[in-house]
Chain A
Amino acid sequence: MTDALTDGDLAALWITLRLATVTTLILLLVGTPLAWWLARTRWRFKFLLEAVVALPLVLPPTVLGFYLLIALGPRGPVGGLMEALGGRPLAFTFSGLVVGSVFYSLPFVVQPLQGAFAALGRRPLEVAATLRASPLDRFFSVAVPLARPGFLTAAVLGFAHTVGEFGVVLMIGGNIPGETQVLSIAIYDHVESLEYGHAHVLAGGLLLLSFLMLMAVYALNRRFLVARP
């Protein structure tokens, strides 16, 4: 097994990890305020937004990828705007992959966070308010630390789910080695070319990685829970 990983595999691994990291960071930044708002609003039509956030859970990834491809391509509204501003269309680029992954993994980050924020209840925040903490201060000094298990779950699920995506990436990334080819597609390519050995290494690696990450989440969250009353 001297060359268990080909150069292409290494590039795909690097792209996958980079994609998952960037996507997770963006999702935590965008998803946290969204989840906070969803957990606390009394807006009557909140269910509409919740349904939109949950869509990627049930939609075939190819459907999402198809619409994103249309939107991000040179003739699509987003791609056209990018071109008009002197950029290049996002389809078939790493940035395009990031955009697609953000949509695709959104529920995996928003839902655990929303659940964690809702579980806090109003009381700890009211207590903080009577102890002179401003709304932003209350959020960072009380809500975030108390929702830590939710953040951990959200980050790991978002990351792992992005690592495992296939359909969306194939649609809008186009499988360009060294640029948009991620691990799951590299596995597919190896299987197509009957290189089962290479496919085994990558598939086994992903399996192990996913298991380890989930194990870490459950173990850590159990520790947090035990530490609480």
Chain B
Amino acid sequence: MTIEARLRLERGAFTLDVELTVPKRGVTALFGPSGCGKTTLLRAIAGLERSPDGYLQVAGAIWQDGRRFLPPHRRPLGYVFQEPSLFSHLSVRRNLEYGLKRTPRAQQRVTLDDAVALLGVEPLLSRAPAGLSGGERQRVAIARALLTSPRLLLMDEPLAALDLASKSGILPFLERLHAELAIPVIYVSHSPDEVARLADHLVFLDAGRVRAEGPISDMLIRADLPLSHGSDAEAIIEAKVSGRDDAYHLSYLEFPGGSFTVAQKDLPLGQSVRLRILARDVSLTLEPQSGTSILNIFPAKVVELDDEDAAQITVRLEVGGVLILSRITRKSASLLGLQTGKTVYAQIKSVAVLT
């Protein structure tokens, strides 16, 4: 049971031509440069744009094919727009109830109390949208979308219109959403940081077409995608909390290539976590270093060096079956004599625990 889409539509000079299979569980990010058709694709999935010969099937139900076209209000979806679009003539509570009241009782799986608690909007209920901050409005808009008990949640850059403080205030709510709800989410974004924190699966769009898709950990390090280049390149690995050192306030996180030591002691044992390793935080040595402050040092094999003619290059490394990236200067690479297959030691200066 997945989501299958074949959608094609033309808007002036732009053509969207997409064939896509989205996993039923988790967050799928639609990622790509602006103008690549992310929003148009999301709107076509919602039925807000018509794709005349499109095919769309969500968890076994046909939303459109050559003969049928379910209008947006008959599609069991939730949509969060880029700018928080609350109804200005209704209080927060009545905004939340708008979709809830229009959802048949038998289909209601999310209660008002659930949504209010999940997004933390209890104190806002009696207020008018005009008096809320951007972040508060977007939280209400997300809760409102959830209250229609959607089979699919579509989010169009829900954080893009917010300032940095509201953004970091709302991300934990989105992570909770991800962790607690079994609703598949399609999330449009052009922020690598958001994608790394939230997505399980990534679809890379370019000029109206799918250029690549796959699990987020693979997509971030693929050499043929722009994500693995540039100063923000990063890798994500899954790990499990395996131990704790209370004296030093440290946790040990086990992954197939070894065990990370991180400065975080409130992680429950056995919990799965997602670790983000920025390529620029990984340095390479030929011998294992002693006398260093860096705790996380792993033997690694060079898989690939990108042949960019620039000061900085990205090295793909394999650590116990897991791929990570290292961003070093081209001069360092040639001094170390790096080449495919060579064994080195990856010193990882910092690791971010995402969930």
Q: In the complex the two chains form, is B98's CB within 8 Å of A131's CB?
A: yes
A138 CA to B71 CA, complexed, in Å:
13
Our pick among B77, B103, B130, B145 for the contact of A229 (Cβ within 8 Å) is B130
Q: In the complex the two chains form, is B89's CB within 8 Å of A130's CB?
A: no
A123 CA to B161 CA, complexed, in Å:
15
Q: A133 within 8 Å of B by Cβ?
A: yes
Complex interface residues of chain B between 161 and 199 (CB less than 8 A to chain A)? none
**Chain B contact residues: helix, strand, loop or mixed:** mixed
A127 (CB) vs chain B CBs: closest residue: B85
B147 (CB) vs chain A CBs: closest residue: A131
Q: In the complex the two chains form, is B87's CB within 8 Å of A130's CB?
A: no
Complex interface residues of chain A between 85 and 143 (CB less than 8 A to chain B)? 123-124, 126-135, 137-138, 141-142
A146 CA to B81 CA, complexed, in Å:
19
Q: B144 within 8 Å of A by Cβ?
A: yes
Q: In the complex the two chains form, is A227's CB within 8 Å of B102's CB?
A: no
Complex interface residues of chain B between 44 and 76 (CB less than 8 A to chain A)? 46, 48, 71-74
CB 8 Å contact bits of A140-156 with B (1 = contact, 0 = none) = 01100110100000000
State the Cβ distance, B59 to closest chain A Cβ, in Å. Answer: 18
Q: B32 within 8 Å of A by Cβ?
A: no
A126 (CB) vs chain B CBs: closest residue: B48
Give every chain A residue within 8 A of B87 (Cβ-Cβ). 124, 127-128, 142, 146
Give every chain A residue within 8 A of B208 (Cβ-Cβ). none
Give every chain B residue within 8 A of A134 (Cβ-Cβ). 73
Q: A228 within 8 Å of B by Cβ?
A: yes
Q: In the complex the two chains form, is B72's CB within 8 Å of A123's CB?
A: no
Q: B129 within 8 Å of A by Cβ?
A: yes
A126 CA to B145 CA, complexed, in Å:
13
A146 CA to B74 CA, complexed, in Å:
24
Q: B79 within 8 Å of A by Cβ?
A: yes
CB 8 Å contact bits of B200-222 with A (1 = contact, 0 = none) = 00000000000000000000000
Q: In the complex the two chains form, is B72's CB within 8 Å of A129's CB?
A: yes
State the Cβ distance, A42 to closest chain B Cβ, in Å. Answer: 14
Q: In the complex the two chains form, is B99's CB within 8 Å of A131's CB?
A: yes
B43 (CB) vs chain A CBs: closest residue: A126
Give every chain B residue within 8 A of A123 (Cβ-Cβ). 81, 85
The winner among A123, A132, A137, A138 for most chain B CB atoms within 10 A is A132
A133 CA to B95 CA, complexed, in Å:
13
Q: B88 within 8 Å of A by Cβ?
A: yes
Give every chain B residue within 8 A of A228 (Cβ-Cβ). 88, 130
B129 (CB) vs chain A CBs: closest residue: A229
Give every chain B residue within 8 A of A145 (Cβ-Cβ). 89
Give every chain A residue within 8 A of B79 (Cβ-Cβ). 126-127, 130
Give every chain B residue within 8 A of A135 (Cβ-Cβ). 73
Q: In the complex the two chains form, is A129's CB within 8 Å of B73's CB?
A: yes
CB 8 Å contact bits of B88-101 with A (1 = contact, 0 = none) = 11000000001100
Our pick among A130, A141, A229 for the contact of B88 (Cβ within 8 Å) is A229
Known: A128-B98, A134-B73. A227 touches B78 (CB 8 A): no
Our pick among A127, A132, A146, A227 for the contact of B103 (Cβ within 8 Å) is A132
A134 (CB) vs chain B CBs: closest residue: B73
Known: A126-B48, A127-B87, A146-B89. A132 touches B130 (CB 8 A): no
Give every chain B residue within 8 A of A130 (Cβ-Cβ). 46, 48, 72-73, 77-79, 145, 148
Q: B128 within 8 Å of A by Cβ?
A: yes
Assuming A129-B73, A146-B88, what are 5 further A-B pairs, CB within 8 angstroms? A130-B73, A130-B77, A130-B145, A132-B102, A133-B98
Binding site for B on A (CB under 8 A): 123-124, 126-135, 137-138, 141-142, 145-146, 148, 227-229
Can you pick out 5 interface pairs between chain A and chain B where the beta carbons lie within 8 Å of each other? A130-B72, A130-B77, A133-B73, A146-B88, A229-B88
